[in-house]
Amino acid sequence: AQSVAQPEDQVNVAEGNPLTVKCTYSVSGNPYLFWYVQYPNRGLQFLLKYITGDNLVKGSYGFEAEFNKSQTSFHLKKPSALVSDSALYFCAVRDMKNAGNMLTFGGGTRLMVKP
């Protein structure tokens, strides 16, 4: 069975500093990996994905994520955090070998960016 772990419930960072939100995954086949962001009282918005190719993936709003196959990780990063980045972030994985191709989400990490 596929699974996703986001080990930090909350990440605090000062505006202008780099941020990292951690994600590790487990799948039996090749992973399709995703990051979504959720602002208060809103649905999830797609940020970026990794399917194949370069391990560093660039997405919306200046975010990027690094795929590391040996560590089964897909950490979300941004060089310089903004207060407006404060939100709930979800990592998700889809195992393209499994029937149904269900998307499995991590528990979410709340990012707080302080001015």
| Residues within the interface to other proteins (CB under 8 A) | 4, 9, 32, 34, 36, 41-46, 49, 51, 90, 94, 100, 102-108
- Pick between residue 99 and residue 115 the one whose CB is nearest to other proteins: 99
Q: Reduced to 3 states, what is the DSSP secondary structure of residue 83?
A: helix
- Least spacing, CB of residue 19 vs other proteins, in Å: 20
Q: Which is nearer to other proteins, 40 or 115 (CB)?
A: 40
Output the smallest distance, CB 12 to other proteins, in A: 18
Do 101 and 95 form a contact (C-beta atoms < 8 A)?
yes
Give the rounded distance of the alpha carbon of 8 from its chain centre.
12
Residue pointed to by tokens 């940020």: 47
For residues 13 and 23, which CB has a smaller minimum distance to other proteins in the complex?
A: 23
Q: Whole-number minimum distance, CB 106 to other proteins, in Å?
A: 5
Q: For residue 74, give the nearest of 109, 35, 40 by alpha carbon.
A: 35
Specify the residue, 100 or 115, whose C-beta has the smaller distance to other proteins. 100
In the complex, minimum distance from the CB of residue 90 to other proteins, in angstroms, rounded to a whole number: 6
Per-residue buried b or exposed e for 44-70, using 16+ beta carbons within 10 Å of the residue's own CB: beebbbbeeeeeebebeeebbbbbeee
